[in-house]
Structure 1
Amino acid sequence: MKQTNLVENIVSVLKEFKPADKDFIALHEPSFQGNEWNYVKECLDTGWVSSVGKFVDQFEEMLREYTGVKRAVAVVNGTAALHICLKLVGVERNDEVLLPALTFIATANAISYIGAVPHFVDSSLETLGLDPKKLGEYLQEIAEVKNGVCYNKQTGRRIKAVVPMHTFGHPVDLDVLVEVCERFKIELIEDAAESLGSFYKGRHTGNWGRVSALSFNGNKITTTGGGGAILTNDEELGRWAKHLTTTAKVPHKWEFVHDEIGYNYRLPNINAALGCAQLEKMPDFLKQKRVLAKLYQEAFSKVAGVSFFTEPNFAVSNYWLNVIRLSPEWSHLRKEILQASNDQGLMTRPVWKLLCDLPMYEGAPKMDLSVARELEDSIINIPSSPYLGAAYA
């Protein structure tokens, strides 16, 4: 097969999904087809647009019910949610926190906000996320547990937590990861920023970590414009999360008393109003996105040299961002494919650069990252907006 044929074939498949009335298809556009205007207008009409209002409480309750957790706390963005999650489980300065090298920068940045040290681990070809089996083998070599605390034998630092990210909505193998965490006495925090609507063995992501984080950025499956949430099944941690993220203010009609260092991570009511309307449409979004994923899978099965990534057999994924992978012999064409597709008004994107290769994290500890590097070279994200599947749903 000629190089030009593969580039042309991939672009040709993507063009099949481009509506005739659109010059450009974004990677993931928000969809506002429900009560968004009504709820936001209510905020404007009543004046409840800031950090207090009925939609904040309603949004938290809707998240709690949808995900099945005991407590959901809405915050200003997903990075803030991760930051507080780390504090809630006791991560401190100079602790090491395990995370995939192949993840969005927010995962590592939140660790840095604490003053902790990111420790990068490899990914799985099955899930695109952290590989728990390989992590367990790695910890067997470099870690030791003393008096119920895990230490890195090479650095002497405490290994306090692990933060798997459910990449593009595909859950990691959580049962295996939970076993690794229990064996090495490490706290589990799920970075579920991309996996609202994804289920692992019938249960929503975010239920395995002691705490978990969601994101509602403008490109997520549901959006509040900007926003995030902390999920937990620990009622006490849930109360503390709410307290910390609302400036640690002690409730009183007029007094300003704050009993610890808190954070102004409150989600405004007007953003929560948008989120409530979006959550009402979640069944439609998920249906449309799964239809689109199925169509992509069928279309790319006819193109040699590329494969469409599908959910692992233990999960039902939200297919937030669809993924194609180039075969190793064709990975050198990735830049050319990105250029050709974007030139045709079809937004495609490479996966993130491995975080350990960024200047601020070059000296951080890391394990063998051979799979992560293979994924970095081969992944292309393709247009994934729900409306692309709506016509076929």
Structure 2
Amino acid sequence: MFESLISFVREQYGTNEFIPLHAPLFQGREREYVADTIESTFVSSVGAYVDRFERDMAAYTGSPRAVAVVNGTAALHVALKLAGVQPGELVITQPLTFVATCNAIAYCGAEPVFIDVDRDTLGLSAVALAQWLDEHARLDTDGQCRTKADGKLVRACVPMHTFGHPADIDGLVSVCAQWNLALVEDAAESLGSLYKGRHTGTFGLLGTLSFNGNKVITTGGGGMVLAGEALGARAKHLTTTAKIPHPYEYVHDEVGYNYRLPNLNAALGCAQLEMLDSFVQAKRELAERYAEHFRGSELSFLTEPEECRSNYWLNAVICQDGSQRDALLKATNESGVMTRPIWALMNRLAFHANARAGALPNAHWLEERVVNIPSSVIPGLCR
């Protein structure tokens, strides 16, 4: 069975060389735009491409504002600050995520609360969230969500759209509204994904994107905060060292962050964004081929949720158990076809060992079984 998968992957990518999990593709105007930036000498934090990248991303996602920053973790950090997260408060998230989600919570001095995910989306479960809140939380006289046990303020909720598959946004929006929680979407992996026709990252108070080298499009490093006009303006101010505009004076009105995306990176991003639709189309066609290949197999291919369009950032299969997962990982990687398991659950990490958590049966089940398989855009599928 594994030999069949290895042969299939090599057939798709047309090579007997090493096949990475997800490599960037540059076949647009990347060199032109980057060279233009170098010629202009505006290669750092000020330049026309930063402004253009923000405008183009806002238009693409339908967000009123988009603010470019150095990476997705910085975007999450700023988003949580703008959502009002303070030291000692609680932020609900999922244990099945990349560590950056929890790092951003820690940067704010807050503590994560880990709630289970749905098996079909791999994203935070609205049902599990509601159950935990009903059991462990209350609304105080000011309408704020606090824990029953010790009165800790529960400020925000951060679901992630895992591997580009949209989480149950309708359910999460409803629960967060009921409990007065700020919804901050970690859409780092889901650029180009739609939930009921609307782009991920635009349903909550704020959303965040990532343009790391392994994402659907890349700026080398980079991220984006998606927000309304007012919060977007605040995000821009905070991420540019909180400097008050002035022709020559240096006046800063609060503690800010030097999170500005360099113009050089933004130039790359502008060119990549022009290719995004063709990249997503190509990735979705590859996913269809995988789905057909695995039909009737012992391995179950993860497909997009109903009423959603996934970008299929990283394709994934669900093994029957941990032993089959380990055998798959060993066979493919030894054959030069890169695969990897899903992340270790965040509550297993030593520095989150004492974090609050609900029951996590789905997260544990998926942790033992999910394997990512090669997902790079195939140039020949781009149209």
Q: TM-score, normalised by structure 2?
A: 0.97
TM-superposed deviation, 1:112: 0.2
TM-superposed deviation, 1:79: 0.2
- Structure 1 residues 392 and 228, CA, compared in 2 at 3 Å: closer, same or farther? closer
Alignment match of 2:302 (pick from 306, 309, 312): 309
Does residue 318 (structure 1) correspond to residue 304 (structure 2)? The answer is no
Does residue 338 (structure 1) correspond to residue 329 (structure 2)? The answer is yes
Alignment match of 1:377 (pick from 356, 365, 368): 368
Does residue 29 (structure 1) correspond to residue 23 (structure 2)? The answer is yes
| 2:12 aligned counterpart, secondary structure | coil
| 2:288 aligned counterpart, secondary structure | helix
Alignment match of 1:226 (pick from 201, 221, 229): 221
Contact 1:13 1:300 in 2 (8 A): no
TM-superposed deviation, 1:332: 1.3
Contact 2:24 2:216 in 1 (8 A): yes
**What amino acid is the match of 2:335?**
Q
Counterparts of 1:205-244 in structure 2 under 5 Å?
205-233=200-228, 235-244=229-238
TM-superposed deviation, 1:391: 4.4
Counterparts of 1:177-192 in structure 2 under 5 Å?
177-192=172-187
Overall identity of the aligned pairs, in %? 52
Counterparts of 1:120-159 in structure 2 under 5 Å?
120-146=114-140, 147-159=142-154
TM-superposed deviation, 1:9: 4.1
Contact 1:78 1:229 in 2 (8 A): yes
Does residue 45 (structure 1) correspond to residue 39 (structure 2)? The answer is yes
**Partner Cα distance (1:377, 1:89) in 2:** 34
**What amino acid is the match of 2:285?**
V
Does residue 360 (structure 1) correspond to residue 351 (structure 2)? The answer is yes
CA RMSD of aligned residues (A): 1.2
Alignment match of 2:251 (pick from 254, 257, 270): 257
Q: TM-score, normalised by structure 1?
A: 0.95
**Partner Cα distance (1:257, 1:392) in 2:** 48
- The equivalent of 1:347 in structure 2 is 338
Contact 2:278 2:382 in 1 (8 A): no
**Partner Cα distance (2:328, 2:173) in 1:** 39
Alignment match of 2:277 (pick from 237, 258, 283): 283
Q: Deviations over 1:58-113 (max 9, x none)?
A: 00000000000100000000000000000001000010000000000000000000
**What amino acid is the match of 2:40?**
T
Contact 2:242 2:256 in 1 (8 A): yes
**Partner Cα distance (2:179, 2:143) in 1:** 8
More off after superposition, 215-224 vs 9-18: 9-18
More off after superposition, 339-348 vs 69-78: 339-348
| 1:73 aligned counterpart, secondary structure | strand
Alignment match of 1:100 (pick from 85, 94, 97): 94
Q: Deviations over 1:241-263 (max 9, x none)?
A: 00000000011111000000000
Structure 1's unaligned 5+ residue stretches are 1-5
**What amino acid is the match of 1:376?**
E
Does residue 119 (structure 1) correspond to residue 113 (structure 2)? The answer is yes
TM-superposed deviation, 1:27: 0.5
**Partner Cα distance (1:46, 1:343) in 2:** 46
**What amino acid is the match of 1:310?**
T
Does residue 89 (structure 1) correspond to residue 77 (structure 2)? The answer is no
